[in-house]
Amino acid sequence: MNNSYIVDAYAWIEYLDGSVRGAVVRDIVEDVNNKIYTCAVTVAEVISKFVRKGYNPEVAFEAITTNSIVINVDEKLSRAAGEIHAKVKKRVKDFGLADAYVLACALKYKIKVLTGDPHFKGIPEAVMI
């Protein structure tokens, strides 16, 4: 069965940390039957986290770009992300703009969001790890 997922920063961090949740992400990401995507904004999020922790950002960049197709951001996706951000933020006060970009990508490409981020609880497109 072929499944398509967009992996958010939360899931990539778990994957890169090698945690128990990361093992779930690894099994999905490394399954050749799955199509894996990452939003370009997520790449920035993960790199920022790595730099702040003093880790080598090249490790994260290589893992993401080797194991997924990066979806670039354009004005239409940015508009959709802005609208999603405003809507979701009404009920999830700290829902981030980067999360809105991930959800905008998921909706545009009709794929699931692979995440453990509690901000995505109750969002039908989310697959919680």
- Domain segments of the chain as ranges: 3-122
* CA atoms within 13 A of residue 36's CA, in its CB half-sphere: 22
Using the predicted structure, report yes or no on whether residue 2 has a pLDDT greater than 90: no
Closest CA to 77 of 95, 101, 48: 101
* H, E, C per residue of 20-66: HHHHHHHHHHCCCCEEEEEEHHHHHHHHHHHHHHCCCHHHHHHHHHH
How do residues 13-58 score in pLDDT, each as one tens digit? 999 999 999 999 999 999 999 999 999 999 999 999 999 999 999 9
What is the pTM (predicted TM-score) of this model?
A: 0.95
Q: Are 16 and 22 in contact (CB under 8 A)?
A: yes
How do residues 62-93 score in pLDDT, each as one tens digit? 999 999 999 999 999 999 999 999 999 999 99
The fold of 3-122 is Rossmann fold (3.40.50)
